[in-house]
Amino acid sequence: MLHALHIVVCAGIVPDPLQTLEPVTGANGPALKNETMLPAVLDPWAASALYEGANLVAKNPGSKLWLVSMGPKAKLQQVMMTVAQKATFELVPIDSASNGFADAHATAAAVADAIEGIPGLEKTRLLIFGGWESASRGAGVTLQVVGERLGITDQFMGVDQIEMREDGSFEVLERVEGGKHQVSVCAGAPAVFGWATGNLPEPRGNPQIGMANMRTVMPALQKAKPTTLADGGLKFVSATLPSQQRQTRVVKDLAPEVIAAELVEWIGAE
Amino acid sequence: MSRLEDTADCGAPIVERQSMEADIACVGFGPAMGGFLTTLNRAWMENPSDPVFESQVAPGLPLQVLCYERADDIAAGVSGVVTAARGIRASFPDLNAADIPMAAPVTSERILYLLDPIRASRRPWMLRAGDRLLRALGGHLGVKDEAYGLPWAPRFLHKSGGLVMSIGQFNQWVGSQIMASGLVQIWPAMPVSEPLFAPNAERTGDKVVGIRLTDQGVDKQGAPESGFVAGMDVRASLTVIGDGPFGSVGRAIDKRMGMPAGHDKREWALGMKFVIELPAETTLKAGTVWHTFGYPEPEIFGFLYVHPERLASVGIFVPSWLGDPSRTVYRYLQHYIRHPALWRYLKGGTLRSWGAKSLDESGQHGEPFLAGDGYARIGEGSGSTNMLAGSGVDEAWTTGVQLAESVIELLRNRRSFTQENLAGTYERRRRASWVEHNARNAMNARNGFHLGFVPGLIGMALAGLTGGTLSIGAKIPAAHEQIRKRHTRSIKELKRREAAMVAVEDGKPLHDAMMSARGWPEIQFDGKLLVSQQDALLMGGKVQAMPGFADHVVFRDAGLCIQCEDKTCIAMCSGQALTLGTEGVPAFEREKCVHCGACLWNCGRITGEGLTNIEFRSGAGGFHSAEN
């Protein structure tokens, strides 16, 4: 027997990781240099969650998928033009100047409030999806706090797979040390899932899906009210990027095993 | 939406293809489309319930306007520009440059003639004599850092009152405003493969009835794989083509409809530039504009534009009439920024981004039919770039505005988008505008460069100072015939095959070996501003190549590639996406392609059908930088 699910994916937008990112300290604390002018993408970890959610919805007739996303409205709209081509969902936008340095508790409070406000959402069918990690320099706790605020105690992190069972329970594979998975069985919704990469490829852009989504996305964006995140008293002492090393060398006709050996040696020396 | 069955060609599988109706389908999002959609959008916003703007395909709803852009983001445009902004300011009378990231009002303009401090460039004797004179009288003439600042800049080059901008940022700024209203949808990462033609019921010939999006879920050769999605057909009563100088839709229409008599796209240039964060102690002010000529080769013009926050766009244009197969633009660019006049300001800077783009420099010589039944052309691909003024963005924007005004006029008068109606509105507006006036003045301004550098300069000055009345006449050969027009002595002395052997042994491309043989020193990398070309691909911008699309660069006839000694396509490839493959056919790596389009006009071999041996199809991805 299949179960109609209500899946809410929490996915922020982040500066496109392909851009040059440089932390700076402004009047309101740390930020990224020129962040407003950098193109944004859906947080890659949470994007995996969206694709997994869409897959589950497709397999379980009667299910629905919402995407709760926080960011400046104009940026959200730009990102949605790409994301909306990938999966069918309803957007719940939170128009906020949030960035990766925002307090995770304040962010979680705004997201939880937005989820509570979704009309027709049934908690007994509710699965909260999100990224296990984030490309936005987040503290990695937002999703758990969202779950706690909604009173959901069954939480799984590093999820790679969910297998729905006929009785409404589901089996979850969570990543653990050593490249292995921990297998858990949960009695049923509600639950929170912080996805790792999952197993699905990024769906192809489909203009028809995009057009269908836009019928609800654009009105939702137009109605989105500006939200100011509460000041949780969070202070950053410093912010730095991981150091990069680029050592380019042109070599010809090198055997693969020699390249592998050199890489092993290089990694070992680091 | 409906489903169509493609008729199978011999042996080809039948493809199920979706079809959708729209009112206006737009191809490409750049300055021209920005002008078109901004103007159309504003007219609708004045009165959204105006029945004039009611959709014909979705009654009760506003016009269904869909725009498809190949790049993964509308901010992924590649061009740092200085523009007079005449048309842009007309659209935004209260424009404040500070509202657009990286934009600044032009504060000063200089034209510099650069001497060759290395003495490796190919200079004609007249220039060498002039150089000697300049060096001898340098102290009196103000020659400094091997550069002579012209005491006077001709008016036709002036951009006073204009703007220094990043096109990526400008596109993003414009696109956000357009989409905010909800009338227009701009879909990134969605390349358009071809126009849809249908027989014209009223007369002989075809009309354009929409566009076909590119197939996804295919292998490199285009064969369907798992997850295959046939590109959707978007049928519209008007198709607006603004896909740039070498867009697949524009070229398909040129091929089907032909070009006006005597018109052809024969002149091109590759613009390549760095975005550099200037040293903290820089004295260059935002809005500073330098135009240069004379170095690294006399035919290579250069520029330096200073943006706010210590950013500068510095680059060169390598024209098709360089007349030499050694066109290593990246290496030339590195030598350019090392010129003492520029290095004085750039030393200690950091490379933030890099980009390259082909420019259609044919001007009105390359103007296609501006409109036909069901379609209209705007922007660079419509021949709007003014090569005398070195200006294209403002002209492109204005052609978009003119088309939008015409579309609104036709909608108000309940007239359809036929060739006659579009000619009577759009073409009429364009012919009566400053874009046309200036384009006519510029039409023959650069002809002289086909006779040599000095005649080229004289011709430009003549045309510029007489408003196009006087110019130097010259036959302009096809782009592939311009590649080996001239050979310097050093090339003759360098046996091509020996150079090839040296190149292969060193693991370097042939063109690099040729430059070294001419005396160009190797660039010493500093890892900060002077980096290898492959590192530049990874700094600032980055190349994006979504999986599931076919290779967009295709060699029609491998035999012709094998015969080709020059392989200028490899030399000119901005991203080193083309390399020497096995058996003499270039190998293409889509993951490195920045979609500059240079290979298209740097292919020296022509097929029996009169086409260059390189086919440049529609494809996703490309360069991905917000700062370009």
Q: Going by C-beta distance under 8 Å and a sequence separation of 6 or more, which residues neighbour residue B429?
A: B402, B405, B406
Chain A interface includes B224 (CB < 8 A): no
Q: How far is B227 from chain A (nearest CA, A)?
A: 7
Tell me whether residues A39 and B626 touch, CB distance under 8 A: yes
- Tell me the C-alpha distance between A127 and A145, whole Å: 15
Q: How far is A55 from chain B (nearest CA, A)?
A: 14
Residues of A in contact with B215 (CB under 8 A): none
Question: What are the structural domains, with CATH classification, of chain A?
Answer: 6-223 (3.40.50.620)
Instruction: Name the residue in chain B with its Cα closest to that of A40.
Output: B73
Chain A interface includes B18 (CB < 8 A): yes
Q: Region A171-191: what's the mean pLDDT?
A: 93
Chain A interface includes B189 (CB < 8 A): yes
Q: How far is A150 from chain B (nearest CA, A)?
A: 32
Identify which of B187, B227, B531 has the shortest CB distance to residue A207. Answer: B187
Identify which of B101, B227, B531 has the shortest CB distance to residue A204. Answer: B227
Q: How confident is the model at residue B155 (pLDDT cuts 50, 70, 90)?
A: confident
Position B507 scores a pLDDT of: 56
Tokens of A49: 């969650």
Among residues B181, B177, B174, B176, which one has the least CA distance to residue B63?
B181
Chain A residues 9-38 with CB within 8 Å of chain B: 16, 18-20, 34, 36-38
Residue of A13, A14, A19, A214 to mutate for B, most B C-beta atoms under 10 A? A19
Instruction: Name the residue in chain A with its Cα closest to that of B541.
Output: A19
Asked whether B135 and B314 are in contact (CB, 8 A), the reply is no
Tell me whether residues B190 and A207 touch, CB distance under 8 A: yes
pLDDT above 70 (res B486): no
Position A202 scores a pLDDT of: 87
pLDDT above 90 (res B378): yes
Residue of A79, A248, A252 to mutate for B, most B C-beta atoms under 10 A? A248
CA distances B358 to A181, B162, B329, B347, B595, Å, are 51, 23, 12, 28, 9
Buried b (16+ CB within 10 A) or exposed e, B140-173: eeebebbbbbeeebeebbebeebbbbbbbbbbbb
Position B275 scores a pLDDT of: 92
Position A114 scores a pLDDT of: 96
Asked whether B428 and B120 are in contact (CB, 8 A), the reply is no
User: What sign has the CA pseudo-torsion B234, B235, B236, B242?
Assistant: positive
Residues of B in contact with A218 (CB under 8 A): 182
Instruction: Name the residue in chain A with its Cα closest to that of B542.
Output: A18
State yes or no: cis peptide before B59, omega within 30 of 0. no
Asked whether B454 and B462 are in contact (CB, 8 A), the reply is no
pLDDT above 90 (res A68): yes
Tell me whether residues A78 and B176 touch, CB distance under 8 A: yes
Tell me whether residues B188 and A36 touch, CB distance under 8 A: no
Tokens of B234: 């978007």
- Tell me the C-alpha distance between B156 and B460, whole Å: 10
CA distances B145 to A197, B126, B142, B235, B345, Å, are 55, 21, 10, 59, 11
Q: Region A3-7: what's the mean pLDDT?
A: 92
pLDDT per position as a tens digit, B428-480: 999 999 999 999 999 999 999 988 888 999 999 999 999 989 988 878 888 88
- Tell me the C-alpha distance between A5 and A12, whole Å: 22
- Tell me the C-alpha distance between B246 and B360, whole Å: 8
Q: Region B156-171: what's the mean pLDDT?
A: 90
- Tell me the C-alpha distance between B396 and A263, whole Å: 50
Instruction: Name the residue in chain A with its Cα closest to that of B531.
Output: A248
Identify which of A204, A210, A251 has the shortest CB distance to residue B229. Answer: A204
Tell me the count of A-B CB pairs closer than 8 A: 101
Position A222 scores a pLDDT of: 85
pLDDT per position as a tens digit, A227-266: 888 877 778 888 877 776 666 676 767 888 998 998 898 8
Asked whether B61 and B55 are in contact (CB, 8 A), the reply is yes
Tokens of B206: 């075809």
pLDDT per position as a tens digit, B39-80: 999 999 999 999 999 999 999 999 999 999 998 888 776 677
Tell me whether residues A85 and B189 touch, CB distance under 8 A: yes
Asked whether A7 and A65 are in contact (CB, 8 A), the reply is yes
CA distances B290 to A200, B111, B149, B286, B484, Å, are 51, 6, 10, 12, 30
Tell me whether residues B532 and A20 touch, CB distance under 8 A: no
Tell me whether residues A78 and B542 touch, CB distance under 8 A: no
pLDDT per position as a tens digit, B197-245: 999 887 788 999 999 999 998 999 999 988 888 999 999 999 999 999 9
Residues of B in contact with A207 (CB under 8 A): 20, 68, 187, 190, 213, 232, 234
Identify which of A16, A204, A211 has the shortest CB distance to residue B216. Answer: A204
Position B44 scores a pLDDT of: 95
Tokens of B504: 């292969």
Tell me whether residues B538 and A246 touch, CB distance under 8 A: yes
Tokens of A36: 């407003």
Number of neighbours of residue A160 by Cβ within 10 angstroms: 17
Residues of B in contact with A34 (CB under 8 A): 101, 309, 626
Residues of A in contact with B624 (CB under 8 A): 16, 18-19, 39
Which runs of E-coded beta strand occur in B346-437? 350-360, 371-372, 375-377
Chain A interface includes B333 (CB < 8 A): no
A40-42 and B16-27 strand pairing: unpaired
Instruction: Name the residue in chain B with its Cα closest to that of A82.
Output: B188
Question: What are the structural domains, with CATH classification, of chain B?
Answer: 2-81+168-264+365-440 (3.50.50.60), 101-163+265-360 (3.30.9.90), 444-476 (no CATH), 489-623 (no CATH)
Asked whether B541 and B75 are in contact (CB, 8 A), the reply is no
Identify which of A39, A208, A250 has the shortest CB distance to residue B73. Answer: A39
Instruction: Name the residue in chain B with its Cα closest to that of A76.
Output: B176
Residue of B41, B185, B543 to mutate for A, most A C-beta atoms under 10 A? B185
Q: Region B119-144: what's the mean pLDDT?
A: 91
Identify which of A18, A37, A218 has the shortest CB distance to residue B169. Answer: A37
Residue of A13, A14, A18 to mutate for B, most B C-beta atoms under 10 A? A18
Q: How confident is the model at residue A267 (pLDDT cuts 50, 70, 90)?
A: confident
Cα A89 versus chain centre, distance: 15
DSSP A140-197: S-HHHHHHHHTT---EEEEEEEEEE-TTS-EEEEEEEGGGEEEEEEE-SSSEEEEE-S
Tell me whether residues A39 and B187 touch, CB distance under 8 A: no
Buried b (16+ CB within 10 A) or exposed e, B17-29: bbebbbbbbbbbb
Q: Region B187-204: what's the mean pLDDT?
A: 90
Position A191 scores a pLDDT of: 97
Instruction: Name the residue in chain B with its Cα closest to that of A36.
Output: B101
Q: How confident is the model at residue B488 (pLDDT cuts 50, 70, 90)?
A: very low
Chain A residues 36-65 with CB within 8 Å of chain B: 36-39
Position B504 scores a pLDDT of: 55
Position B313 scores a pLDDT of: 96
Q: How far is B184 from chain A (nearest CA, A)?
A: 11
Helices (H), B319-380: 329-337, 340-346
Tokens of B566: 């020059």
State yes or no: cis peptide before A190, omega within 30 of 0. yes
Residues of B in contact with A206 (CB under 8 A): 229
Chain A interface includes B538 (CB < 8 A): yes
B65-68 and B184-187 strand pairing: parallel
pLDDT above 60 (res B491): no
Q: Which long-range contacts (CB under 8 A, 24 or more apart) does B303-306 make?
A: B303/B82, B303/B273, B304/B342, B304/B345, B305/B80, B305/B81, B305/B82, B305/B164, B306/B104, B306/B164, B306/B278
Tell me whether residues B624 and A252 touch, CB distance under 8 A: no
Tell me what the pLDDT averaged over chain B comes to.
89
Give, to the nearest 10 degrees, the angle between helix B510-517 and helix B496-506. 110
Tell me whether residues A38 and B527 touch, CB distance under 8 A: no
